[in-house]
A and B are shown apart, each in its own frame.
Chain A
């Protein structure tokens, strides 16, 4: 009897486990039928919208946008969900796995890719023929993926990086804030001056190079089909060598080896480091963290091709109300609503119609206003530098190997080879 029970239990668990494993496929809805329903259906009923960390700062703005939508389409009901900044990817992942994604979801391109691969997102270009005409190419391209036909999101707001310099620290250490370095070699030369003058108490450089730096050094990061990483080139190794030598000469603090991207701006906020890169809104937020430093910050354009950061709205293919979802995504990302959003904070609209808005090209004379104009002008040449295929685990591995090369425990070539090999394994697995 015991044996029978044991066998039955084992069978039940195995069967349940295999089912839980999700060995089946994703959403089976036909893409064309959903796109057609979205394009031609009547905008009515209930529709849900999920944003990322907009409450409480932008509650009034978003509520205004939603009220405007309800006014335009009477009878439609919008449920707005705003998720906290931390753990958003896990939230989206659990929603996607459970099939409970809201009708319209804020997804940056790297979050949208795995969902698109699983056929969970609607190809919005199929449902909206005007998409490419109304939104800037960089924004639209961010939601097009190699080997995956379609456009899987409406580009929403854009941003890029600006260089920020602490004029106090530069002046105090014999450097001219009006002549910031424009190349890596100039940066290293000025970092040396800073170290010598400050006796090692202040730094100019405080971040490891990353994939963006390799890109700017002319290195091809990925194969065209998006299936292999290729950044273990002699050019990338030469760039890493420069950083390793600078680190060895004490031009960067020790903890740069384990610091993440944000570590650099933390040191800048603390007044230990004279250079950081951040979005156009940085000085405004610095005014809260370090009000003494904020007025003394001088912005300048990024050194080479600036990175393009895109936020967008995607529509799950499983939506029960595709017409309202499409209309809502279009409404939230419309030129008018994006411009209103951009007037509240330093982000930039992804709509072509907003390009001529003088608000973005004119500074109010403050350093924050200058940063906004620099960022706006930089957007024209900004590119999605880091491939969307790079996930958290890959970023960690690349960071670890770059740190290893900088510490001198591995050659640059060795470290890059390891990083590429491990990332390729993850990409294929």
Chain B
């Protein structure tokens, strides 16, 4: 005999609901409220209406930060969508020693982003490995300013992000590739399709949902880039702060005893809205293609 009580489902879902309310919903609501105040970490804060949002329009650093985040996304998106797929196709083959390569490609993923960025900082600085090689080989007379140039710093961070992310997305693609029925490849081969044709007409359609998922993940993480740029620029965001990302701006305004929580919250909401854009676009694209 089974007893059905109306509260049983609520009892089971309760812990998850409480968790979501306390750690997701509540901070989100609080951020919205704070964005309309001039709150500081030590309390206080009066309702200031749309003042913080008005300030967003005047903030030159924000314009740079948004541009950086968008450039970051536009460069990372194709690179991190396509390269890991090619890498996955490469390491998917069952040839001796391939496990070593799979592990090697995945290793950067498990390393801490801060540690990796520190190492790249040493490699790319004036007296680093890259500048040493460039100067020794006579390609340049003086060190290339990888870590201080307006665009060079941004692209150094992009290169680091791509290098570090390859292995992660490769593993996702590997599982997607494993789900593509081999019979389809065999049938296509029997019909005379070459490797390129099989890739276009069998592999790509097979991994398309994964590709969309990866694109969405990359878009969000690129727009929220922080540690790579922060560590490479020693937290300074380059000369004039022109290489700051939106998250770096949020961190700069919110930290410390005098943190401007109201303005930082307005920045957070702006970032949320900006992040929604590419997500909705990709979802729409996927639905259309389906």
Which A residues are closer than 8 A to B by beta carbons?
13-14, 16-18, 20-26, 89-90, 92-93, 96-97, 111, 113-115, 118, 120, 200, 250, 253-255, 257-260, 263, 272, 391-393, 396-397, 399-401, 403-404, 406-407, 409-410, 415, 426, 429
B15 within 8 A of A: no
Contacts A114-B42, A200-B142, A426-B260 given; does A397 touch B126 at CB 8 Å:
no
Contacts A114-B258, A393-B253 given; does A21 touch B37 at CB 8 Å:
yes
Q: Of B30, B143, B260, which contacts A254 at CB under 8 A?
A: B143
Q: Verify A23–B46 contact, CB threshold 8 A.
A: yes
Q: Residues of A contacting B147 with CB < 8 Å? A: 254-255, 258
Q: Residues of B contacting A393 with CB < 8 Å? A: 252-253, 255-256, 258-260
**Least Cβ distance of A384 to chain B in Å?**
18
B257 within 8 A of A: yes
**Which residue, A24, A118, A263, has most C-beta atoms of chain B within 10 A?**
A118
Q: Verify B240–A410 contact, CB threshold 8 A.
A: yes
10-62 of chain B: CB within 8 A of chain A: 25-26, 29-30, 33-34, 37-39, 41-46
**Which residue, B125, B127, B145, B240, has most C-beta atoms of chain A within 10 A?**
B240
The 4 A-B residue pairs whose C-beta atoms are closest, nearest first, are A22-B43, A404-B240, A114-B257, A403-B239
Q: Verify B33–A257 contact, CB threshold 8 A.
A: no
192-239 of chain B: CB within 8 A of chain A: 233-239
Contacts A23-B45, A118-B43 given; does A401 touch B256 at CB 8 Å:
no
In the bound assembly, the distance between CA atoms of A200 and B238 in angstroms comes to: 23
Q: Residues of B contacting A409 with CB < 8 Å? A: 150, 239-240
Q: Of A13, A18, A93, A200, which contacts B42 at CB under 8 A?
A: A93
Contacts A17-B33, A18-B33, A93-B42 given; does A258 touch B233 at CB 8 Å:
yes
Q: Can you pick out 21 interface pairs between chain A and chain B where the beta carbons lie within 8 Å of each other?
A: A16-B26, A17-B26, A21-B33, A22-B43, A23-B46, A26-B43, A115-B257, A118-B42, A253-B127, A254-B143, A254-B145, A254-B148, A258-B236, A260-B234, A272-B127, A392-B252, A400-B238, A400-B240, A404-B242, A409-B150, A429-B260
Residue of B nearest to A94 (CB): B41
Q: Of B33, B42, B143, B252, which contacts A97 at CB under 8 A?
A: B42
B241 within 8 A of A: yes
Q: Verify B29–A97 contact, CB threshold 8 A.
A: no
In the bound assembly, the distance between CA atoms of A49 and B162 in angstroms comes to: 48
**Least Cβ distance of A200 to chain B in Å?**
7
**Least Cβ distance of B46 to chain A in Å?**
7
B120 within 8 A of A: no
Q: Residues of B contacting A96 with CB < 8 Å? A: 42
B105 within 8 A of A: no
Contacts A272-B127, A393-B253, A404-B240 given; does A259 touch B234 at CB 8 Å:
yes
Q: Residues of A contacting B252 with CB < 8 Å? A: 392-393, 396
- Contacts A114-B257, A257-B239 aside, 12 further interface pairs with beta carbons under 8 A come to A14-B33, A22-B42, A23-B44, A96-B42, A253-B127, A255-B148, A260-B236, A263-B234, A393-B259, A399-B236, A400-B237, A407-B239
Residue of B nearest to A23 (CB): B45
Q: Of A13, A24, A399, which contacts B43 at CB under 8 A?
A: A24
**Least Cβ distance of A243 to chain B in Å?**
13
B169 within 8 A of A: no
Contacts A13-B26, A255-B148, A429-B263 given; does A400 touch B241 at CB 8 Å:
yes
**Least Cβ distance of A414 to chain B in Å?**
10
**Which residue, A23, A89, A113, A400, has most C-beta atoms of chain B within 10 A?**
A400
Residues of B within 8 Å of A, CB-based: how many?
A: 45
Q: Verify B234–A391 contact, CB threshold 8 A.
A: no
How many A-B contacts at CB < 8 Å in the complex? 138
**Least Cβ distance of B250 to chain A in Å?**
11
**Least Cβ distance of B61 to chain A in Å?**
8
Q: Residues of B contacting A258 with CB < 8 Å? A: 147-148, 153, 233-234, 236, 238-239
In the bound assembly, the distance between CA atoms of A120 and B44 in angstroms comes to: 13
In the bound assembly, the distance between CA atoms of A39 and B143 in angstroms comes to: 63
Q: Verify B42–A400 contact, CB threshold 8 A.
A: no
In the bound assembly, the distance between CA atoms of A16 and B33 in angstroms comes to: 11
Q: Of B34, B43, B126, which contacts A255 at CB under 8 A?
A: B126
Q: Verify A391–B43 contact, CB threshold 8 A.
A: no
**Which residue, A21, A200, A415, has most C-beta atoms of chain B within 10 A?**
A21
Residue of A nearest to B143 (CB): A254
Q: Verify B45–A22 contact, CB threshold 8 A.
A: yes
Q: Verify A396–B33 contact, CB threshold 8 A.
A: no
Q: Of A22, A23, A89, A403, which contacts B240 at CB under 8 A?
A: A403
Residue of B nearest to A404 (CB): B240
Q: Of B42, B150, B238, B258, which contacts A391 at CB under 8 A?
A: B258
Residue of A nearest to B37 (CB): A21
Residue of A nearest to B253 (CB): A393
Q: Verify A255–B125 contact, CB threshold 8 A.
A: yes
Residue of B nearest to A427 (CB): B258
Residue of B nearest to A402 (CB): B239
In the bound assembly, the distance between CA atoms of A244 and B168 in angstroms comes to: 43
Q: Verify A93–B256 contact, CB threshold 8 A.
A: yes
Q: Residues of A contacting B142 with CB < 8 Å? A: 200, 250
Q: Residues of A contacting B30 with CB < 8 Å? A: 17, 20-21
Interface string of B161-184 (1 = CB under 8 A from A): 000000000000000000000000
